[in-house]
Amino acid sequence: MGVTVTERGFYSVVRWRSDATRDEARNVAVVLVDAEGQFGGIRIAPPSTLSNDARQQGFLDTILHGLELQFEGDKRPDLERLRKMSEALTQSLYLTSPRPTAVPDPDLTLQALYKAFVAPVGAPRALSKGVVIDKVVHTLRKRGFHVRRSEYVGEFVFDALVDRTEGILACDVLSFATATRDWIPAERDAGHFLYGLERLGLAGMAVIQPPTEESRDEASTSFARVRNWFEEASVPVHNPAELADQQLALPTP
């Protein structure tokens, strides 16, 4: 649809209170619609920027991705729908009341709103485990997969779960590209993952950010150790960039 400077849109900021008793909230996404539902969308902050807790990241990702899916159908949310969402979501996650804005271009307007209200401020962050999970989940969803983040299957928690007709694919995500000195937690994570796969009989794969040229020797040593574990268990290992390849087949049971 052609959009001119005379188009009028409405936006709401999605806010999250991690502790309702303290009534402190932060902006986590921005939603843009028009009155008729002809254009609009949502821009979401990466979950790893919102919390250091993996379970909270998974909760926020589930809720925000659900909002995102509402903009993928033929009929997008309109102003009335945005108002109803604003009235319905009032607890830990809530929307501000819709406010009008000029929309010369929907994508550029949404980008400007995201930068003004939501975008993380500061220097680029290190490629931590959380940052890499952001990329893995985003990439797999772009390929059309349904992905759940930081969820349990039975007694075992996995970084990402890909739901498929041939069965669940469990993903372990690790990063050896940070400046940490202690890699024992990463090795424990890998061990927990491999044990969970064996006990549950799930298909699995590992997505690992390798060490950089600036990484400490300990990172390279631990990376090699963990990679050997996955190879011995016949669990494929990929770096995050490889997942964008549409020709890359995901493991099956």
From first to last of the 253 residues of the chain, give the pLDDT tens digit: 454 555 899 999 999 987 656 667 889 999 999 999 889 899 999 999 888 888 889 999 999 999 899 888 777 899 999 999 888 877 788 999 999 999 999 999 999 999 999 998 765 678 899 999 999 999 999 999 999 999 999 999 999 999 999 999 999 999 999 988 999 999 999 999 999 999 999 999 999 999 988 888 999 999 999 999 999 999 999 999 999 998 898 888 7
Return d(Cα 11, Cα 176) in angstroms, integer.
39
pLDDT, residue 191, reads 97
pLDDT, residue 1, reads 47
**pTM of the predicted structure, to 2 decimals:** 0.86
Return d(Cα 82, Cα 84) in angstroms, integer.
5
Q: Where in the chain is the domain with CATH 3.40.1350.60?
A: 129-244
What does each C-alpha distance from 101 to 14, 32, 40, 84, 214 come to in angstroms? Answer: 16, 9, 12, 19, 46
Q: Which residues neighbour 44 within 8 Å (Cβ) at sequence distance 6 or greater?
A: 14, 28, 29, 64, 65, 67, 68, 118
Q: How far from chain centre, in Å, is Cα 235?
A: 23
Identify the bridge partners of residue 10 per DSSP, sorted by sequence position: 33, 100
Return d(Cα 70, Cα 83) in angstroms, integer.
15
User: Are the C-beta atoms of residues 62 and 27 closer than 8 Å to each other?
Assistant: no
Return d(Cα 243, Cα 250) in angstroms, integer.
9
CATH of 129-244, one of 3.40.50.280, 3.30.70.20, 3.40.1350.60, 1.10.510.10: 3.40.1350.60
Looking at residue 82, its amino acid is: L
pLDDT, residue 213, reads 84
pLDDT, residue 20, reads 59
User: Are the C-beta atoms of residues 122 and 134 closer than 8 Å to each other?
Assistant: no
